[in-house]
């Protein structure tokens, strides 16, 4: 998983090279070293087209026939996951795939800096009707550990998503946790909703996401930087 890499300025070829070829290289190294148990971190961005809410693991992934307007990140994660399953069949690897949504937490270089920059404006304008699926980095790590421990996870894919939550709710939780923010927050209507079904992870792995308030307090404790008031 290369989630620590900043990807905002990447081109399509950068995503494909890192995610698809990177997956091939890691699995080739695992095969050479005799490692059979693999947890591949994919993404909910790999799902194809419009999907019902909530989106389950049975929804199809993007394929090579996806149009040029398809986001490069999602396409690269889908192709990487498809390649991982192909290599697992060829080399008899015990593979599990995790599909996390937008990850937040300490030391994040992608989402959190953008969110904090918006939150600390003189007036923080936040979408009130936008429901973005988010999950705490610590909860993703817990999902990886559980997948490795549970034999039932072999050959399975799992959505890894936090509570169904609006961006405005996340902003309020950030303020209450002590995060740096404007004195005045202004909710604006911007309707959008996406939600992912985590029933499989909860029932088969015993996985649970922690409350956002707890996760943000831990984020600030681990990585205060200039994020506190």
Query: For the whole model, what pTM was predicted?
Result: 0.88
Residue 178 lies in a domain: yes
Query: Would you state the torsion angle of the CA atoms of residues 54, 148, 16, 196, taken in this order, to the nearest 10 degrees?
Result: 10
pLDDT for residue 192:
77
Residue 199 lies in a domain: yes
Residue 6 lies in a domain: no
Q: Could you tell me the CATH number of the domain that includes residue 40?
A: 3.40.50.720
Vertex 145 angle, CA 176 and 155, to 5°: 125
Residue 144 lies in a domain: yes
Residue 229 lies in a domain: no
Say how many C-beta atoms besides its own lie within 10 A of residue 115's C-beta.
22
pLDDT for residue 225:
74
Please list the residues that pair with 97 across neighbouring strands: 40, 157
- Please count the residues of the chain: 229
Residue with the two structure tokens 């961006």: 167
Query: CA–CA separation, 106 vs 225, rounded Å?
Result: 10
The SS3 assignment for 59 reads: coil
Residue 7 lies in a domain: no
Our count of domains for the chain comes to 1
The whole domain housing 57 covers 12-222
pLDDT for residue 183:
66
Residue 227 lies in a domain: no
Consecutive 10-residue averages of pLDDT for the chain (229 residues)? 51 85 97 98 92 89 78 93 98 98 91 83 76 93 98 98 88 86 71 89 98 94 75
Tokens representing 76 are: 């690269």
Task: Tell me the per-residue pLDDT of 139-187, one tens digit each, with 9 for 90 and over.
Answer: 999 999 999 999 999 999 999 999 888 888 888 898 889 887 776 677 7
pLDDT for residue 122:
78
- Find, among 40, 148, 152, 47, the residue nearest to 86 by Cα: 40
pLDDT for residue 184:
67
pLDDT for residue 9:
55
pLDDT for residue 43:
97
Residue 2 lies in a domain: no
């Amino acid at each position: 998983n290369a989630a620590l890499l900043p990807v905002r300025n990447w081109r399509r070829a950068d995503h494909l090279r890192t995610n698809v070829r990177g997956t091939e290289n890691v699995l080739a190294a695992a095969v050479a070293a005799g490692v059979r148990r693999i947890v591949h971190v994919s993404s909910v961005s790999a799902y194809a087209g419009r999907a019902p809410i909530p989106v389950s693991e049975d929804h199809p992934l993007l394929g090579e026939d996806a149009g040029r307007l398809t986001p490069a990140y999602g396409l690269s994660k889908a192709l990487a996951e498809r390649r991982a399953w192909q290599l697992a069949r060829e080399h008899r690897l015990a593979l599990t795939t995790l599909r996390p949504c937008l990850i937040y937490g300490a030391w994040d270089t992608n989402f959190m800096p953008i969110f904090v920059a918006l939150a600390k404006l003189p007036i923080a304008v936040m979408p009130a009707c936008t429901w973005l699926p988010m999950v705490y980095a610590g909860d993703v790590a817990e999902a990886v550990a559980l997948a490795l421990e549970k034999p039932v996870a072999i050959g399975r894919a799992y959505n890894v998503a936090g509570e169904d939550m609006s961006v405005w709710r996340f902003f309020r939780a950030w303020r209450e946790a002590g995060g740096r923010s404007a004195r005045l927050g202004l909710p604006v209507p911007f309707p959008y909703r996406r939600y992912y079904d985590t029933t499989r992870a909860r029932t088969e792995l015993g996985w649970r996401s922690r409350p956002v308030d707890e996760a943000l307090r831990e984020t600030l404790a681990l990585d205060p930087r200039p994020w506190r008031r």
